[in-house]
Amino acid sequence: MPKDKRKVEDGLLKKGFKSQEGDHHFFIYHTLQGKKSSIRTKTSHTPKMKEIGDGLLAQMAKQCCLNKQDFSNLIDCPLSREQYEALLIKNGEI
């Protein structure tokens, strides 16, 4: 199910990702201690792109080291930043 692009970007920012502009909107995860990690994803600058489709959401989930359901939970808030970081540590991603 597609998600509103702004909601996805806002959700990432609330969960410890910091934005960096380039040819896309890049989002880089920073740990609770403020350290920059290798976890990153991006969204398009395309103004007419208001929603992110399932295929791109699946790619973003993979880039964030989550399955699609957990990524959706990260964006929609049931998965807290602390829980997300604990998953990353458990899986050896950070």
- The span from the CA of 94 to the CA of 89, in Å, is 5
- Written as one letter, the residue type at 76 is D
Strands (DSSP E) found in the chain:
3-4, 17-21, 25-30, 36-43, 51-52
Topology of the domain comprising 3-90: Metal Transport, Frataxin; Chain A (3.30.920)
Per-residue pLDDT band for 29 (boundaries 50, 70, 90) equals very high
Other residues' Cβ atoms within 10 Å of the Cβ of residue 3: 19
What confidence tens digit (pLDDT) does each residue in 37-88 have? 999 999 987 777 789 999 999 999 999 999 999 999 999 989 999 999 999 9
